[in-house]
A and B are shown apart, each in its own frame.
Chain A
Amino acid sequence: MIQLAFLIGLTGYSLGILLPLLTRRCPTIQNISAHGAAFLGAMGGIGVGVGGLTAEVPYHVSIPSSLPLLTYSIRLDPLSSLFVLLISVCGAAVAVYALGYVREFYGRYSIGALGSLFNAFLLSMTLVVLADDGFFFLLAWELMSLVSYFLVVTEHDKADVRYAGFFYLIMTHVGTAFIFLTFLMFFQETGSFSFEAFRHSAQPMPEGLSTLVFLAALIGFGAKAGIVPLHVWLPYAHPAAPSHVSSLLSGVMIKTAIYGLVRVYFDFLGPPFPWWWGFVVLAVGAISALLGVMYALMEHDLKSLLAYHSVENIGIILLGIGAGMIFQSYGLASLAALGLLAGLYHTINHAVFKGLLFLGAGALLSQTHTRNMEEYGGLIRTMPWTAMFFLIGAVSISALPPSNGFVSEWLIFQSLFLSFQIPDLLMKIMLPIGASMLALTGVLALACFAKAFGISFLAMPRSSHARQAREVSLTMRTGMGVLAFVCVALGLAPMLVVPALDRITTPLTGASIAGDLLSRGGLSLTPVMGEEFASVSTPALGMVLAVIVPVALLGAVVLGGTLRKRYYKTWGCGLNLTPRMEYTATGFVQPVKRVFSTIYQPTVKLETEFLEESRYFAKQRHFEVRIEPVFQRYFYDPVVMFVSAAADRLRVIQAGSLHLYLTYIFITLILLLLMAG
């Protein structure tokens, strides 16, 4: 079954890569052929994923290559099949969405290139997750980065898109260099690049080397995932890409980095690792989560707001994985399995609702041709479906019950609260502090998405663009609809997801917890310690809410006896309200900016142009607030300055005089002769 699905997937994607390039003439054919083939490929991918999850023994195939050290080998164990499933489901939904969205690019950009790159992107991501050989993993990884770069710079006539693309390309390449170092150190130990050898290396790695491997993997995969110090490229690159691509970038591509981390830490380095590793991952996760959401709050470009939220959610995922690693280092296998399972569950959830939100933002962008939220408003009336799906995404990402975000964030909370079983005192305290930062992040995310949804969709349209917006085409709606349905399903039916995840965490941590995680016949989740410790059941909550709302409705009607409803102007102290009097996104977050000003270091600029006659009546006011790009200022700019300064100083060695060049040769000759003599 898996081979068949694999073949379908492969033919689908390769068709998708070739077809658009061959049909030169009309963009619609290119669009349909590319995204149709992508959909077929994704279906194949889903088959492979499901097959892999249910199969007992991992499916393995390897083709030797003529290059030494490189074998094109693929292995489908539960972990990779989960991620293949993730990529394919999101890929399928986005492919359907793209059919409508790409129509906006006809005539302006080459649809053929966009379509074939899209398919190449999906194929390379699937290969990254399936690769079973270090060299082949690096090859697929670089291919993925290269193809995603060309997708990000589709609209390369804009200067900031080019800058964002280049910044992204350099950062991923730096990341790849570190990943390459990780595999090099494994190669040094085991003598071959195959993951099989990494997994069963004869003697465990010496202490110093395994720490180097840990740090190199964290930096390498962290650069792609966007953990805090290395996240600066993400809010540039993801918004710059076309929305259906940024949905895949943010939703799925950074998850391949999480896959990499889990593979290296849990699969290769093996369970007994020092305690401080888990703590470092936890700390990085907590900081990324908090700073990610804080910068997201200040962002008024909808897509970069979502990009910052990716940084936040990666932080939350790392919190789960970090907690898992800490438990593992203290030998609490079942708790480690819980932490890892929570992290993976949140990975799936984030992929789905972040993808949905970006598709929603894309729909808004295609109608209003701007990404600035201050120019949206009242779109819920003209675009009801998009509003509905965006609302479902917003509820899920803010982790409100009974959504899927809530389930995974609840599991991560529980794994952090189980810290009292750890013997070491410091860890006992650190994990709850991590939980407090997660709580703060969760609620700030709620505020941020209330702002995003409220300002964009509700009240009156603030600009002419927003007024002319119309509902998007059917394909875009179905794309979003599929993801919204999956979002709700993941929320209400954790009992389906948990056993599948358990098949992954059992081999990695050595403890199967599906049994005691699902109690009351799978109705509710109880983390490991049984029901009286803690349990939540989103289906039950959903049912109770579903019962109370109609009862309240009937009760209100019966008690009141009237159903009359009158529409009238909103009360504006007697003035008739204009869109300019509505609350703006900047206004909405001003209290938050003021409370956390030490982190933001805002600079406010207010210029007022007074009337000639009197100083008390202003003709025009220009207000601008800017948040200090801390990391860019103190981390990236110095590096760039240093390199260009070095280049300027070194320029002098090519000074143009023939005598100088002759002297170079003369001195080198003398030195080497002395050396050889």
Chain B
Amino acid sequence: MMARNIALVVLQAVVLLAVSPFIVGLIRKVKARLQCRLGASVVQPYYDLRKLFRKDVVVSSNASWIFTATPYILFASTLTAGLLVPLFVSKVPLGFAGDIITVVYLLALGTFFLILAGLDAGSAFGGMGSSRVAIVASLTEPAMILSIFAVGLTAGSTNLSTIVHKTALLEGIVTDPPPHLMALAALFIVTLAETGRVPVDNPATHLELTMIHEAMVLEYSGRYLALIEWASALKLLLFLTLLSNVFAPWGIATEPDPLWMALGGAVWLVKVSGLAVFVGVIESMFAKLRLFRVTDLLGVAFILSLLALVFFYTLRG
């Protein structure tokens, strides 16, 4: 039994690492298409990663060991968070190690070290990025915990595998749509904010007035930059998986036999790419918000998730 679990965990890690650059490529492709230009191919991110891994690393003379350690800590914490989320089978083997709060705080561990790395180089850009991420993160994480928990209440648990397993068997989902919809909206806003998509932060720009995530990683190069890019892609995939599996887990394998898992995996891939396309469309439709409009948007997300929680009790009585 032990060996099979470990194999499953490794499989999940490999799948996550493989699919995440594809998702980023897909979103860029959709945006390019909507701007009536051909755009790079969907697999371009893989080439970028390979190029970056081969390049030399340039490290700032002011920086300390934190600067060099942060990429690895960020990559490890995001991957561990990924391993806790059910992808293709509802009972994820590492489920006992953590629940939704653990996932959120693992991501926070990554953000914490990213903020420190931003400050470490001593440049104004890094400081600016860290300061902005501090306020954005402090508004998104509570919203994230509460929205997932609002859904968790239907399953009576905060453990992701249980939530997915119960909702997958069509038990709770139909009964009270309003709180679920609110929680879904809140989580979608959080996804855009955490992964630095357009309304909150423009991933493609290097203009110091607007960039939040990019500013912190400005100093990175070579394999460090590759790891960080890969980690942010992983984070994007993680959020999309949460959106799809927690709110619409149909088609996921409920028992760990290979055939069902393969089918579940395929269904998961389709759902995630659909969401990626949707994110691409959203990015093309909206312009980037001013920084202190973003905090109002995130305030809305926080209130939405809180209301989802409150409505869950009041409506069901």
Q: Do chains A and B touch in the complex (CB under 8 A)?
A: yes
Q: Which residues of A contact B (CB under 8 A)?
A: 378, 380-381, 387, 395, 398-401, 406, 410, 413-414, 417, 420, 425, 428-429, 432-433, 435-436, 439-440, 442-444, 446-447, 449-451, 453-455, 457-460, 519-520, 523-524, 529, 531-537, 540-541, 544-545, 548-549, 552-553, 556-557, 559-562, 564-572, 577, 579, 581-583, 587-592, 594-595
Q: Hey, which chain A residues are within 8 Å of B76, CB to CB?
A: 545, 548-549, 552
Shortest distance between the CB of A601 and any CB in chain B (Å): 17
Docked-complex contact A443 and B137, CB < 8 angstroms: yes
Q: How far is the CB of A661 from chain B (nearest CB, A)?
A: 66
**B41 contacts the other chain (CB 8 A):** no
Known: A400-B105, A552-B227. A451 touches B96 (CB 8 A): no
Whether A447 lies near B59 (C-beta < 8 A) is no
Determine the chain A residues whose CB is within 8 A of the CB of B122 once the complex forms.
458-460, 570, 577, 579, 581-582
Q: In the complex, what distance in Å separates the CA atom of A436 from the CA atom of B141?
A: 10
Given A541-B97, A591-B131, 19 more pairs with CB closer than 8 A: A380-B64, A420-B153, A436-B306, A440-B142, A443-B137, A446-B112, A458-B120, A532-B162, A533-B162, A534-B159, A535-B95, A536-B101, A537-B98, A544-B80, A549-B73, A568-B60, A571-B218, A582-B122, A583-B119
- Residues of B near A532 (CB, < 8 A) are 157, 159, 161-162
B102 at the interface (CB under 8 A from A): yes
Partner of B119, one of A401, A454, A566: A454
The A-contacting residues of B in range 217-243, CB under 8 angstroms, are: 218-219, 222-223, 226-227
Of B73, B158, B291, which one neighbours A533 at CB under 8 angstroms?
B158
Q: Range of interface residues on chain B?
A: 35 or more
* Residues of chain A lying within 8 A (CB to CB) of residue B257: none
Q: Is the CB of A587 within 8 A of B106?
A: no
Decide: A560 near B223, CB < 8 A? Known: A436-B306, A439-B146. yes
CB-CB contacts of B25-55 with A at 8 A, as 1s and 0s? 0000000000000000000000000100111
Cross-chain contact of B97 among A536, A568, A579, A583 (Cβ < 8 A): A536
Q: Is B137 within 8 A of A540, CB to CB?
A: no
- Contact A459 B108, beta carbon cutoff 8 Å: no
Q: Is the CB of A567 within 8 A of B61?
A: yes
Segment at the interface with A among B263-271, B277-285, B309-317: B309-317
Q: Which residues of B contact A582 (CB under 8 A)?
A: 122-124, 127
Q: Does B295 contact A (CB under 8 A)?
A: yes
**A459 close to B120 (CB less than 8 A):** yes
- B contact residues around A414 at 8 Å (CB): 158
Assess whether B79 is interfacial by the CB under 8 Å rule: yes
Q: A533-B157, A544-B80, A544-B94 are in contact. Are A556 and B223 (CB under 8 A)?
A: yes
In contact, B72 and A549 (Cβ under 8 angstroms) = yes
B145 within 8 Å of A by Cβ? yes
Q: How far is the CB of A184 from chain B (nearest CB, A)?
A: 42
Q: Are B310 and A588 in contact (CB under 8 A)?
A: no
Query: With A and B bound together, what is the CA distance between A621 and B64 in angstroms?
Result: 32
CA distance A454 to B275 in the complex (A): 36
**Is B286 in contact with chain A by the CB < 8 A criterion?**
no
The answer on a CB contact under 8 Å between B102 and A453 is no
Given A420-B153, A533-B158, A588-B127; A432-B146 close (CB under 8 Å): yes
Known contacts A454-B116, A548-B79, A559-B50: does B138 contact A535 (CB below 8 Å)? no
How many Å lie between the Cα of A450 and that of B83 in the bound state? Answer: 26
Instruction: Specify which chain A residues have a CB less than 8 angstroms from the CB of B120 in the assembled complex.
Output: 454, 458-459
A429 touches B223 (CB 8 A): no
Tell which of B62, B80, B161 touches A545, judged by Cβ atoms closer than 8 Å. B80
Dominant secondary structure of chain A at its interface with chain B:
helix
User: Are A562 and B54 neighbours in the complex by a CB distance under 8 Å?
Assistant: yes
Provided the pairs A532-B162, A552-B227, A583-B119 are in contact, do residues A540 and B102 lie with their beta carbons within 8 angstroms? no
- Asked whether any CB of chain A lies closer than 8 Å to the CB of B198, the reply is no
Contacting residues, chain A, for B59 (C-beta < 8 A): 565-568
Decide: A450 near B127, CB < 8 A? Known: A520-B96, A534-B158.
Answer: no
Contact B158 A417 (CB under 8 A): yes
Is B61 touching A570 in the complex (CB atoms < 8 A)?
Answer: yes
B245 within 8 A of A: no
Could you name 28 residue pairs across A and B whose Cβ atoms are closer than 8 Å? A398-B108, A398-B112, A399-B105, A414-B158, A417-B149, A417-B158, A432-B310, A440-B138, A443-B108, A446-B108, A447-B134, A450-B112, A459-B119, A531-B159, A532-B159, A534-B158, A535-B95, A535-B96, A541-B80, A544-B80, A552-B76, A556-B226, A561-B53, A565-B59, A570-B122, A583-B124, A589-B134, A591-B132
| Neighbouring A residues of B134 by C-beta, 8 Å | 447, 450-451, 588-589, 591-592
Looking at B101, B105, B124, the one whose CB has the most chain A CB atoms below 10 A away is B105
- Distance of A444 Cα from B141 Cα, bound (Å): 10
CB distance from B62 to the nearest CB of A (A): 5
CA distance A593 to B242 in the complex (A): 32
For B142, the chain A residues whose CB sits under 8 A away are 436, 439-440, 443
**Contact check: which of B118, B139, B146, B313 meets A429 at CB < 8 Å?**
B313
Q: Which of A414, A425, A455, A545 has the most CB of B within 10 A?
A: A545
Q: What's the minimum C-beta distance from A28 to chain B, rounded to whole angstroms?
A: 35
A432 and B309: CB pair below 8 A?
Answer: yes
Contact yes or no, A524 B54, CB < 8 A: no
Q: Does B191 contact A (CB under 8 A)?
A: no
| Cβ A552 vs Cβ B72 within 8 A | yes
| A453 CA / B120 CA spacing, docked (Å) | 10
- Check A450–B158 contact: CB distance below 8 A: no
Q: Is B75 part of the contact surface with A, judged by Cβ < 8 Å? A: yes
| Contact (Cβ within 8 A) B124 A581 | yes
CB of B130 within 8 Å of the partner chain: yes
Cβ of B7 under 8 Å from chain A: no
Given contacts A400-B109, A559-B50, contact A564 B115 (CB under 8 A): no
- Determine how close the nearest CB of chain A comes to the CB of B40; give it in whole angstroms: 21
With both beta carbons as reference points, the residue of chain B lying nearest to A448 in the complex is identified as B134
Instruction: Note all chain A residues with C-beta closer than 8 A to B2.
Output: none
A436 to B63, CA, bound (A): 36
Complex formed: what's the CA distance from A351 to B129 in Å? 33
Is B11 part of the binding interface, using a Cβ–Cβ cutoff of 8 Å? no
Q: Known contacts A432-B149, A533-B162; decide if A565 and B56 are in contact (CB<8 Å).
A: yes
Q: Which residue of A lies closest to B134 (CB)?
A: A447
Contact check, A439 vs B72: say whether CB atoms are below 8 A apart. no
- Return the chain B residue nearest A398 by Cβ: B112
Specify which chain A residues have a CB less than 8 angstroms from the CB of B57 in the assembled complex. Answer: 564-566
CB distance from B125 to the nearest CB of A (A): 8
B75 touches A548 (CB 8 A): yes
Closest to A544 in B: B80
B156 lies within 8 A of chain A by Cβ = yes
**8 nearest A-B pairs in the assembled complex, by CB-CB distance:** A583-B127, A459-B122, A454-B119, A439-B142, A447-B134, A560-B53, A540-B97, A548-B76
A33 to B41, CA, bound (A): 74
Q: Find A591's partner among B112, B119, B135, B314 (CB 8 Å cutoff).
A: B135
Taking CB atoms, residues of chain A closer than 8 Å to B295 are 591, 595
CA distance in complex: A395, B111 (Å): 12
Check A595–B73 contact: CB distance below 8 A. no
User: What is the CA–CA distance of A95 and B66 in the complex, to the nearest angstrom?
Assistant: 31
- Please give, as numbers and ranges, the residues of chain A lying within 8 Å of B130 by CB-CB distance: 450, 454, 583, 588
- Partner among B50, B56, B66, B137 whose Cβ is within 8 Å of the Cβ of A458: B66
Closest A-chain residue to B306, C-beta based?
Answer: A436
CB distance from A540 to the nearest CB of B (A): 4
A552 to B234, CA, bound (A): 14
Mark contacts of B233-262 with chain A using CB atoms, 8 A cut-off: 1 yes-contact digit, 0 otherwise.
000000000000000000000000000000
Considering the chains assembled together, what is the distance between the CA atoms of A566 and B59 in angstroms? 6
Pair B102/A458 contact, Cβ less than 8 Å = no
Chain B contacts of A447 at CB under 8 A? Answer: 115, 134-135, 137-138
Residues of B within 8 Å of A592, CB to CB, are 134-135, 138
Residues of chain A within 8 A (CB-CB) of B56 are 562, 564-566
Which listed residue (A380, A400, A444, A541) contacts B66, Cβ 8 A?
A380
- Let me know if A428 and B313 touch, CB within 8 A: yes
* Chain A residues in 8 Å Cβ range of B66: 380, 458
What mask results when residues 54 to 96 of chain B are scored 1 for a CB within 8 Å of chain A, else 0? 1111111111111000001101110110010000000000111
